Amino acid sequence: MLNKNVAELLNTQVNKEFYSAYLYLDFANFYEAKGLNGFANWYKIQAQEERDHALLFYQYLHNNNETVTLEAIAKPDVKMEGLIDPLKAGLAHEEYVTELIHTIYAAARDVNDFRTTQFLDWFVKEQGEEETNANDLITKMELFGSDPKGLYMLDNELGTRTYAAPSLTL
């Protein structure tokens, strides 16, 4: 049986992950409107990943006989004017999600909930990758984004990204 606080934090994370998916779909909308279909593709795949993360937390809670409470998902409110704005907002959001995961991890550790900390180990590693990817996108945009040919090549590169479902076993 999960500790009440840990279960509540995990349930909150389900909803935060669904918000992340909404946020990244909003970024994809922004890039679609700018004609940058590769950037849009990258963020649509990012949205799929976040949705799957939500479902992993959802299933973990159910596997531990917890009921999941789904909340309303807030409308993303990131102000996006320049092409780099979604990238910077994406990094800030991933850093926020990392903090959320660390909070759940600490709460589970404090009550010796080793099963939950083991479950969260994958997310800790995943968040490191997410932050690295977000930083890399910003770096590439800063290097190449002001050059139309560079932006074209970067957009094409991002358009090649394909979706791979997470391989976490519950």
**Residue 166 banded pLDDT, cuts 50, 70, 90:** confident
Q: What is the pLDDT of residues 98-137, one digit of tens each?
A: 999 999 999 999 999 999 999 999 999 999 999 999 999 9
Rounded alpha-carbon distances, angstroms, from residue 146 to 9, 24, 153: 42, 23, 12
- Write down the pLDDT at residue 169: 66
Taking the domains of the chain in order of start, what are their residue ranges? 4-159
For the cut 80, the answer to whether the pLDDT of residue 31 exceeds it is yes
Neighbours of 25 (CB within 10 A): 19
* Count of positions (residues) in the chain: 170
The mean pLDDT of 57-65, rounded to a whole number, is: 97
Q: What mean pLDDT is reported for the chain?
A: 96
Q: Is CATH 1.20.1260.10 what the domain over 4-159 is classified as, yes or no?
A: yes
Closest CA to 97 of 66, 129, 140: 129
Q: What is the pLDDT of residues 132-154, one digit of tens each?
A: 999 999 999 999 999 999 999 99
| E strand or H helix that includes residue 61 | helix 37-63
